[in-house]
Amino acid sequence: VLEAYKQGLRPALGYELNPWLLCLANYRAWKAGCYGNVSFLKKDLWKVNLSDCHNVIVFLAPSVKPPLATKLLAELPDDARVVAGRFPFPSWTPSSTLGQGLEQVWAYDMKEVRREVQGGAQESQG
């Protein structure tokens, strides 16, 4: 969220349920001089409507990626971009990647992901 803010993405908002991680995120925002410009909310990502989000960054375990992919496909607009840290979405083809190892990230453009998912669904029906 801090890097997104530094790159000019507004609003910069994060969701976290773990109170310790929430405190750590707010501390890091304060230390970076961004406190008040970025927000971290104690909310359940599964209960938040993401339809007005255009940039989503996730750091979640591989087991969570398939159900999250379903949620993102259902809620995000076509012009949204999803960036996954540490673990890629297993069934999506990234539009770009950066870094390697634990520092690797995968970027996905929702319009392209939808096109690929819809093409795969049509192939399996035919």
Check residue 83 and give its pLDDT: 93
Check residue 9 and give its pLDDT: 82
First to last CA, the chain: 42
Check residue 125 and give its pLDDT: 63
Full residue range of the structural domain in which residue 21 is found: 1-43
Residue 17 domain-assigned (yes or no): yes
CA 100 to centroid of chain Cα atoms: 18
Residue 7 domain-assigned (yes or no): yes
**For residue range 7-22, what is the model confidence (pLDDT) as tens digits?**
888 888 889 999 999 9
Percentage of residues in the chain having pLDDT higher than 90: 65
Considering the domain architecture, whether residues 29 and 75 belong to the same structural domain is answered as no
- The mean of the pLDDT values for the chain is 90
Residue 10, Cβ neighbours under 10 Å: how many? Answer: 10
Residue 121 domain-assigned (yes or no): yes
Check residue 31 and give its pLDDT: 94
Considering the domain architecture, whether residues 37 and 57 belong to the same structural domain is answered as no
Please tell me the total count of domains within the chain: 2
Considering the domain architecture, whether residues 109 and 73 belong to the same structural domain is answered as yes
Global pTM exceeds 0.85:
no
Residue 119: give its domain's CATH number: 3.40.50.150
Q: ω into residue 88 within 30 of 0, thus cis?
A: no
124 has a pLDDT exceeding 70: no
* Contacting residues for 52 by C-beta, under 8 A, at least 6 apart: none
Considering the domain architecture, whether residues 26 and 58 belong to the same structural domain is answered as no
Considering the domain architecture, whether residues 111 and 61 belong to the same structural domain is answered as yes
Considering the domain architecture, whether residues 59 and 119 belong to the same structural domain is answered as yes
Check residue 29 and give its pLDDT: 92
Residue 48 domain-assigned (yes or no): no
